[in-house]
Structure 1
């Protein structure tokens, strides 16, 4: 038990004295693509702070349809429900790109929140940015085309993953965008035709981030800017336009 040198941006934003007190409570675990760490209604026995990778909170209808309502990587933690004192999951937690995560028991986490006003304030700020992202997703799904929504989602994944290569399948993207797989394929082809991305099987490479930002419009940016104002650096710089 206990870790050193955390690679999670929330933990890195804590004062060093508070981080030193918190780290002995953590253990490092490895998650894999396709893992479902909990389903709707499951008890929240652990709180996780990813150090790499990409995962999604997925809403599940009574008929079994699955739609992403938020994604997170090393900039975040899960579940924000634990920050608010809730002990059961409202969404499914799906790992899209695996990596190391730090975890702490739910009771130890609640004790840490009570002892550390800095941790509590930081995670309330993060919870606010998550709520903003959810509202941006709702606006996006209702007011933007699939191409525009795909551009936004690629930007969000690009912010959370290292490099410009995103290991994402069309099946995952259909859940993320709340649309059919065939529609996702057409949207990917359109973005590739614009020169914004290059697509191969289960891999999307960002070629022109500025173009993706233009395509996404106001569906991308407000939540990210709020994270940067309240917590710290987040968004990637624009990729050079291909010649």
Structure 2
């Protein structure tokens, strides 16, 4: 029989839940398509739905009154969009814009609140993910302020690459400049440097990653800090399931001895 969590395969936050918890969530989850450019929620507005991406990626963008903006984090199949929904204030902290089209599970905010009150395990998983997300946001802010543009560009490419299953990206220089909060000319110069170094191919909004290891070597430490925060989260999930399996082992041995 197919397990309940296997139905959510593709989103790591959902599949990390025990089957009993996942079965409670299932009636309130719907499968939705995400189109590039879709605004899932806007800063200051009430978050009516949360999203658990499976194949799409969403940029969390902070915007200023003068129209400038920058990406503070990117969310893929490792997590959830709309964490403020269960943290006491359902007003969005920033814009959530679909960067890469795909699919996601969607749940109403009130349903999520209901389930977090019923399930301490769900709340704990969401809080652990939120801690990793806040690390991501804080490190992005520091990176945008202190590191060279080509380093920022490498970090941005790697973080988006981590959240997809191939090495091709669709993003114009204007879009990347907007997400990094820099001038388009800077992105053009940075992309040319990476192309000359044999790390990427770039042509009319199409980016093909040639050398991932080279991008990591050229990136600043911020990529590694954020990656380790999410890796730690994944390890904690695996460790939790391993402990649960080990806890049942003595019972299996006991039954074997009795049958003998």
Normalising to structure 1: TM-score of the pair? Answer: 0.91
User: Which residues of structure 1 form unaligned runs of 5+?
Assistant: 234-243
Indicate whether 1:20 and 2:4 are aligned.
Answer: no
Corresponding position of 1:174: 177
1:99 aligns with 2:113: no
Secondary structure of the corresponding residue to residue 163 of structure 1? coil
Q: Which residue of 1 aligns with 2:210?
A: 207
- 2:55 is the alignment partner of 1:46: no
Structure 1 counterpart of 2:123: 120
The runs of 4+ residues in structure 1 deviating greater than 3 Å are: none
* 2:140 counterpart SS class: helix
Structure 1 residue 99, shift from structure 2 partner: 0.9
Q: Which residue of 1 aligns with 2:244?
A: none
Between structure 1 and structure 2, the one with the greater Rg is 2
Residue in 2 that maps onto 1:68: 71
Task: Quote the RMSD (CA, aligned, Å).
Answer: 1.7
Name the SS for the 1:160 alignment partner: coil
- Corresponding residue for 1:183? 186
Tell me the CA shift for residue 151 of structure 1. 0.3
What is the DSSP-based 3-state SS (H/G/I as helix, E as strand, rest coil) of the residue aligned with 2:162?
helix
Cα distance in 1, alignment partners of residues 91 and 80 from structure 2: 16
Give the Cα–Cα distance (whole angstroms) in 2 for the partners of residues 102 and 137 of structure 1: 26
Displacement, 1:4?
7.3
Residue 151 (1) aligns with residue 154 (2): yes
Structure 2 gaps, min length 5? 237-260
| Counterpart contact for 1:44–1:89, Cα < 8 Å | yes
Q: After TM superposition, give the deviation of residue 216 of structure 1 in Å.
A: 0.9
How far did 1:232 drift? 4.4
The offset of 1:188, in angstroms, is: 0.6
Q: Determine whether 1:129 maps to 2:132.
A: yes
